[in-house]
């Protein structure tokens, strides 16, 4: 995986820009589990815009990247918890805690994720 560092946050926090997949690896309206810099993330393509969140559901760790995408919501395949993909907020139980989101961007046909 390709990576680079840059100061992209207010206050100068250094982020690692890490190549995750090719754009064509995640069709629109779907998600995929990706490994970047030792983290397991769920990457989603919503109409050509990519979003990355923690892959583990906050209920009991179900793989969100394998869940069903319903508009801008992912449904956990294990117990049906629902999370807003763009914000990581819980929108349906049994989970009660949000998941962490990570900025994602496309460049030259690849998807990159910004990791702190």
- In the predicted model, is pLDDT for residue 44 greater than 60? yes
Q: What is the pLDDT of residue 4?
A: 45
What is the CB neighbour count within 10 angstroms for residue 73? 16
Share of the chain above pLDDT 90, in %: 85
Domain residues for 89? 3-115
**What's the token pair of residue 66?**
């394998």
What is the CB neighbour count within 10 angstroms for residue 81? 25
**CATH code of the domain covering residue 96:** 2.102.10.10
Average per-residue pLDDT in the chain? 90
State pTM to two decimals. Answer: 0.87
> How many domains are contained in the chain?
1
The string of pLDDT tens digits covering residues 48-61 is 999 999 999 999 99
Q: What is the DSSP secondary-structure string of 52-64? A: EEESB-TTT--BG
Confidence of residue 15 (pLDDT cuts 50, 70, 90): low
Q: What is the pLDDT of residue 16?
A: 84
Q: Under a CB-based contact definition with an 8 Å cutoff, are residues 90 and 75 in contact?
A: no
């Amino acid at each position: 995986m390709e990576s680079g560092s840059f100061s992209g946050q207010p206050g100068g926090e250094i982020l690692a820009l890490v190549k995750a997949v090719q754009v064509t690896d995640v069709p629109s309206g779907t998600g995929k589990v990706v490994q970047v810099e030792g983290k397991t993330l769920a990457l989603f393509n919503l109409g050509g815009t990519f979003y990355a969140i923690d892959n583990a559901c906050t209920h009991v760790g179900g793989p969100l990247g394998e869940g069903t995408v319903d508009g801008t919501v992912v449904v956990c395949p294990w117990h049906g918890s629902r999370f807003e993909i763009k914000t990581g907020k819980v929108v349906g139980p049994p989970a009660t805690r949000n998941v962490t989101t990570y900025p994602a961007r496309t460049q030259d046909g690849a998807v990159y994720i910004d990791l702190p």
